[in-house]
Each structure stands twice: as C-alpha cells, then as structure tokens.
Amino acid sequence: MTKALLLEDPHEYADEPLVDRGVEVTRISGSLDEDELIEALKGVKILGIRSKTQVSERVIKNSPKLRIIGAYCIGTNQIDLEAARHSGISVFNAPYANTRSVVELAIAEIISLARMLTVRTESLHKGIWDKSAAHSHEIRGRTLGIIGYGSIGTQLSVLAEAMGMKVIFYDIAEKLALGNAERKATMEEVLREAHVISIHVDGAKENTNLFGDREFSMMRPGARFINLSRGFIVDIEALKKHLESGHLRGAAVDVFPTEPKSNGDPFDSPLLGIPNVILTPHIGGSTVEAQEAIGRFVSGKLVDYLRYGITDMSVNLPNLAPPPPASSKKRLCVIHQNVPGVMAELNSVFAEHGVNVDGQMLATEGELGYAVTDLAQELPQETIDHIRAMSATIRLRCLTL
C-alpha cells in the first residue's frame, strides 16, 4: 500500500483525496528535525508539510521511496527543490488558495495600525481610559506602498484602492498595474512616499535581508510597516531601532527569521513589548476557508500525479497534463536528463521489445525532461529494466490505468 506522511496538521480535507485513492495516511501534528524526518520517511512515497518542516538534500538522498512532496502552503523555500528535481521527486504547493486570507489580514492590520488599536486596547485592559485622536488616522487618502506585486500584492492593491487609499508599488518584474495603482521604477521611491509599506515578495534567496536599516531609514517619518511574506527578508533589530526611535509609528509582523516548531513552544522576539506593534504567529493564510481549499487542492495534485503522472503546476518538474486515456492499460512516466536522443532511445526500446505505443507526450525544462507514454499492453519486466538502465533516466514510474 502507498504510504503518505502529513506533518504540521494540514486541514482534514487533505486526507480524503488520498484515502479515496487507497493511500495509507499517517499524521504528525508538529514538524520534525532532519534525523527524525529521515526515520519517519522510511517506506513513505508521499510527504505533506507546511512551512516549518525543512526538507533538505540529506533528507531527500536518504528517502529512496519518496516520490512526491506536497507543500500545504504558498512557499516552497523550506524544500531543496534542486535536490528533489534531480531525484525525480515532484513538488506541489498551493500558490493561490490562501491569497484572500492574507490580503484580508493585511487590510485589518493597515486599519489597526492607523488607529493605534493595540495601544488603545492595552490601555483599557489595564483599566485606563485614554480617549484620544493622537496619531490616529483614516486610511482614506493615505498612500499604501506594496513591495511585490504578485497574486497577493495585486489583490491587496484592489481592496485598498476601494477603501480610498492611493496605491503605489514596486516589483522587479514588469507588472500590469490594476485600477489606479502606480508602478514606481525603484523601491526607494515607494519607501519615501508611502504612509504604509506592505511586503509581499517570494522566498527567493536574493530577498534575504531585503529590509534593513538603510531601507527603514528611507521610509517617511510616522510610516507603518507590514510583513506577511517571509521572516528572513527583514532585519528585526533594525525594525526595532526605527520603532523605538519613533521614526516608524507602528508595525505588523506575521513571519519571523526563527519560528517555534509547534504550538505551545516558547516564542521570543526583539519586538516584544513595543507599542503599536502587532505580532501574529504566521497566520496570514490560516483561515478555515483557506486551509480547506489548500487541503483539497494540494492533495488533489498529489493524487493526479500518483494516478496519472500529471505534473501540471509542479514547482520543480516540467509541467505536463496528459489526459486520462480511453483504452490504454499502462502509462510509463520517465523523468530524464534533457539530452539529445532520449526519445529515440526510448522508442527504440519499445520497438525492440514489441511494445505498441498508444500515445506519447514530452515536456522539457532546463536540464530536465518528462516523457509520458501510453501503452495498450502489459509491459515485460525486461522492457522496464531496459528503460530504467538508460543513461539519461532519472526516475521511472509504471502506472496501471
């Protein structure tokens, strides 16, 4: 029986597509360290994680049965994608399922910071009545600066503008501005102009320490700062400095350079206790609706790959979406080095062993190729062995349809 290991409690809806396909699902509520994960993956073909579990090259090399990794979240920087790629392990994530949840939290934080809600709430909890308009503003007419204009940044742009904000943004790629949003040529222009800065960049290594003392110094006095993207992009000590000096009027941080592995574990940060600072435990995409959608979506992708070899929306393998065949009995899926002559050699093997081909599809990406061949007959073991022994073959899967 095919075994799946799901870590970090993805939504219960993640189990259903797998169980319906006959997969034996084991759940572990928290994340595992490297050695624990290697031990837990013995005999496991499918691994499901969220953001805390690190799937390193060592984990991949010591997990020969592993075929698929599902990231029940947006980011995949916790997975060594190159190691997975060269081992023929397909990785899937949920790039859009929790977009709305992140955007709604950003809107809530923009308003909360503008109205000093954390400060007012804390005062009342201490029994102090402090009715004041000091440093409180409407967001209407204020300027929102968005760094990273992808699926989250663009949706935030639309909602913020609908609430009366002026929106400016910066992205390293050319992006079409939505509504009346204005693209700026440099990040510095956005930082100097915006009353609120909201970060929505991806987990690329180049974004490490994207925001430090220099960038915070560029922001206009009294501005607010929001980070709902990645913890490692912000120098927390630099943010603390600019908050305590009064240069920045507030901040909301949902992601941190180092985060606890499990709920209930202790948390510490230089930002603790600073007024008008909202700290949340990486919950940007953690709504019931988002987690349900992510569970169904990612597990659906895992099942499609398990059953039909479909790599559509895989983040590390060539994308191919072969349709379910009408009459073929077998589907041969070959992940291979993208070198000349592979398809010729593959078809030569079929001819040599008297195997008739119903249909064939190929996709290539960089140094990798993915070939899917539908067959009308059972494959002799010697044919499978021959293809597996080809010098360009990385991984071979033979599916019964």
Collapse the DSSP code of 339 into the 3-class scheme (helix H, G, I; strand E, B; otherwise coil) and give the result: coil
3.30.70.260, 3.90.420.10, 3.10.20.600, 3.50.50.60: CATH of 322-401: 3.30.70.260
**The pLDDT value given to residue 344:** 96
Residue of 237, 196, 252, 242 whose CA lies nearest to 217: 242
Q: What is the pLDDT of residue 268?
A: 95
> CATH assignment of 1-97+288-314?
3.40.50.720
> How far apart (Å, rounded) are the C-alpha atoms in residues 303 and 293?
15
Nearest Cα residue to 18 out of 59, 48, 52: 48
**Partner residues linked to 370 by β-bridges:** 335, 363
Which residue is listed with tokens 């993915």? 370
- Is residue 395 flagged as an active site residue? no
How far is CA 237 from each of CA 127, 251, 271, rounded to the nearest angstrom? 31, 13, 8
Q: What are the residues whose beta carbons fall under 8 Å from the beta carbon of 339, sequence distance 6 or more?
A: 392
What are the residues whose beta carbons fall under 8 Å from the beta carbon of 318, sequence distance 6 or more?
A: 311, 363, 364, 365, 368, 369, 370
What was the pLDDT predicted at 205?
A: 86
What is the side-by-side order of every strand in the sheet holding 330-337?
Answer: 357-365, 368-375, 330-337, 393-400
Per-domain boundaries in the chain: 1-97+288-314, 99-279, 322-401
User: Would you give per-residue pLDDT tens digits along the chain (401 residues)?
Assistant: 899 999 999 999 999 999 999 999 999 998 999 999 999 999 999 999 998 899 999 999 999 999 999 999 988 989 999 999 999 999 999 998 899 999 999 999 999 999 999 999 999 999 999 999 999 999 999 999 999 999 999 999 999 999 999 999 999 999 999 999 999 999 999 999 999 999 999 888 899 999 999 999 999 999 999 999 999 999 999 999 999 999 999 999 999 999 988 788 999 999 999 999 999 999 999 999 999 999 999 999 999 999 999 999 999 999 999 988 778 889 999 999 999 999 999 999 999 999 989 999 999 999 999 999 999 888 889 999 999 999 999 999 999 88
353 tagged catalytic: no
> Are the folds of 1-97+288-314 and 99-279 the same?
yes
Question: How much is the pLDDT for 263?
Answer: 84
- Annotated catalytic residue within 104, 122, 182, 259: 259
The pLDDT assigned to 262 comes to 79
Overall fold of domain 99-279: Rossmann fold (3.40.50)
Which residues, other chains included, contact 144 with Cβ-Cβ below 8 Å and sequence gap of 6+?
A: 110, 156, 157, 160, 165, 166, 167, 168, 194, 195, 196, 198
| Catalytic, out of 115, 242, 249, 282 | 282
Catalytic position from the list 50, 67, 230, 386:
230
The shares of helix, strand and coil residues in the chain, as percent rounded to the nearest 5, are: 35, 20, 45
Residue 282 designated active-site: yes
Q: Which amino acid is at 170?
A: Y
